[in-house]
Amino acid sequence: MDNSLVLIVEDEPAIAQILEAYLLRDGFRTVRAGDGEVALQHHAYLKPDIVLLDVRLPKLDGFGVLARLRQAGSTPVIMVTAIADDIDRLSGLRLGADDYVVKPFNPQEVVARVRAVLRRTQGERADAIKRFGAIEVDFASYTAFVSIDERRTHLSLTLSEFRILAYMIRHPTQAFARADILDACLPESDALVRTVDTHISNLRRKLDDMGQNGFFPAVRGIGYRFSDPR
C-alpha cells in the first residue's frame, strides 16, 4: 500500500493542494486532474491505485468519469461531493464507488479512507480469480476466459453480461431470482426484470460458441443458476 499512486480529480486548486499535501506526507504518490477528461487520460496512462473523484467537474462530471472507469476496470474510487442530491445518490454506493466523503472534510480523514479502501480492495484482489470448469473470471480486470487444452480464449462480454457472470459464478449452483440479478448487476439502470432474460440468453450463446454448453439453466418459478448441481 505504501507508495500507492492516488489520482486526485478536483477542479478547485486549493482543495487539490491540501489533499495532495496530506497524502504526500503520508507516503503516497499523487497526480492531479482538474477536469473529467484529463482524469480519464491520467487513469489510462498512469494506472493509479485509487482515485479521489470530485462529483462536480468541468467537461465530464464525476458520475460520468466513474461510469467510464467501471467500464475499464475496477480501480478503487472515493467520490467527493458537497451537494445534497449527490449525497443521496452516493449513500447506497450503487453507482460503483467504493466510498464517498462530504465537503467540508478533514484531510486526515480522507487519507484514512484512502488507506482503508486500498486495504480492502487489495485484499480482494488477492482472491480475484474464480474458475469453474474451463471458465475463468478475473474480477479485478473485468475479463473472462475459456481455457481448453492450454489454449486461453478471451470471452467478449458487455459490462452487464460480465457483471451477471461474475455474480453468479461465485455460487454456481445457487438459484437466483431475476429481481436479485437485476438489483446486484444493473443497479444504476432502469431496466425491467425481463431484461435479465436477454443478457442470460446472450451469455449462453457466447459460451455455446466456445463449446461451453448447459450454463445458465432456467429454474422454474425462480430465475436462473449458473450451473446445475452435479
Superfamily classification of domain 5-125: Response regulator (3.40.50.2300)
Is the pLDDT reported for residue 3 higher than 90?
A: no
120 vs 171, higher pLDDT: 171
Distance of CA 228 to CAs 130, 133, 174, 216, 220, Å? 17, 13, 9, 8, 13
Express each pLDDT in 206-223 by its tens digit: 999 999 999 999 999 899
Query: Tell me: the pLDDT tens digits for 13-48?
Result: 999 999 999 999 999 999 999 999 999 999 988 889
CATH number for the domain whose boundaries are 129-224: 1.10.10.10
For residues 87, 89, 91, 97, the Cα torsion angle rounded to the nearest 10 degrees is: -100
Give the tens place of pLDDT for each residue, 82-96: 765 556 555 545 567
**In whole angstroms, what is the distance from residue 14 CA to residue 168 CA?**
45
Kindly list the domain boundaries of the chain, sorted by start residue.
5-125, 129-224
Contact (CB, 8 A) for 44 and 16 = no
Report how far residue 104's alpha carbon sits from residue 83's, in angstroms, rounded to the nearest whole number: 11
